[in-house]
Amino acid sequence: MTSIVKCRKLHKTYRQGTIEVHAIRGVDLDVVEGEFMALAGPSGSGKTTLLNLIGGLDHFDSGKVHIKGADLARLNSRQATELRLHHVGFIFQAYNLLPVLSAIENVEYILLLRGVRDKERRRRSRDILEEVGLGDMLNRRPHELSGGQQQRVAVARALVTEPDIILADEPTANLDSETATGLLDIMRTMNQRHQVTFIFSTHDARVMDYARRIVRLRDGRIEKDENKDGPAD
C-alpha cells in the first residue's frame, strides 16, 4: 500500500502573548491512498493544526511532511500552491464560498485557476453538482442555499479537480443530523468510486462512525490509532 501522506517527528508551537502553546508534539503519521479517516480529539488536541500542516496551510517548526512524495519543507510558495491546486481539495467548516458567485460559478472558480477552458469547466462543474444532488440549484447564490446545500457546493468544489486528497475541517459541525448523514454518504461514495483519500478533523461521532480509521489526538500527540479494517501499521 502506498502512503500518500507521511509525517515524521512533526512539531508546531504557537505563541499567545508570553505563553507558548505546543499544538503538535512529535507526530508520526502515514496515510495510505484511498483511506477514509478521521483525526479526532477534544478542542485543543491539535487535530485542526495537524490537518493544516498536512495541507500546507500552516508551517511546522520541525519534522517532515511529504505529500505524494513531495517534501513540503523544500517547496517554495509557488510550488506549494501548485501542489495544493492540483492534488489537494479543502472543505472548511465555514464553507468559504464566494458570496457574489452562484453555486456553479463557485465550483468553476477552482477550474478557472487551473486554466480549464470554458465549456469543459462548465460541464465538469455541472456534473459534480448533479452528483452531490444540487443539479437544480446551479444558479443560486450562497445566501439562497441552506447550510447543508452550501456545504455540498463546497464538497463539489473540492472534488471537481479530481484531487488525490481531500482535507475536511469539521465539515459537519454546523449541520443537523439528517443533513450531516447525507453529506457523509456523498463523501464516502466519492471515496469508494474515485479512490479519493479523505482526512477529516472532527469531534463529531457521526463522522467517526463513517471513518474506517480514527487517529485520536490529545495535547498534540497521537493517543490511539484505530483501524476498523484491521490493525494500523
CATH of the domain at 97: 3.40.50.300
Examine the pLDDT at 15 and tell me if it is beyond 90: no
Average pLDDT over the chain, rounded to an integer: 91
Examine the pLDDT at 60 and tell me if it is beyond 60: yes
Residue 211 lies in a domain: yes
Residue 67 lies in a domain: no
Residue 27 lies in a domain: no
| pLDDT score of 36 | 96
| pLDDT score of 231 | 47
How is residue 140 written as a grid cell? Answer: 443560486
| pLDDT score of 213 | 96
Residue 213 lies in a domain: yes
- What are 100-137's pLDDT values in tens digits? 999 999 999 989 988 899 999 999 999 999 988 899 99
Average pLDDT of span 3-28: 93
- The three-class DSSP label of residue 16 is strand
| pLDDT score of 233 | 47
Residue 209 lies in a domain: yes
Sheet holding 165-169, edge to edge: 88-91, 165-169, 197-202, 36-40, 213-218, 221-227
Stretch (H or E) spanning 90: strand 88-91
For residue 156, give Cα distances in angstroms to 75, 92, 104, 138, 180.
Answer: 28, 12, 9, 11, 15
Query: Who wins on pLDDT, 31 or 232?
Result: 31
- The three-class DSSP label of residue 165 is strand
Q: What is the pTM of this model?
A: 0.90
Residue 106 lies in a domain: yes
Contact yes or no for 166/5 (Cβ under 8 A): no
- 206: containing domain: 35-47+75-227
Average pLDDT of span 7-26: 92
Structural domain tally of the chain?
1
Examine the pLDDT at 164 and tell me if it is beyond 60: yes
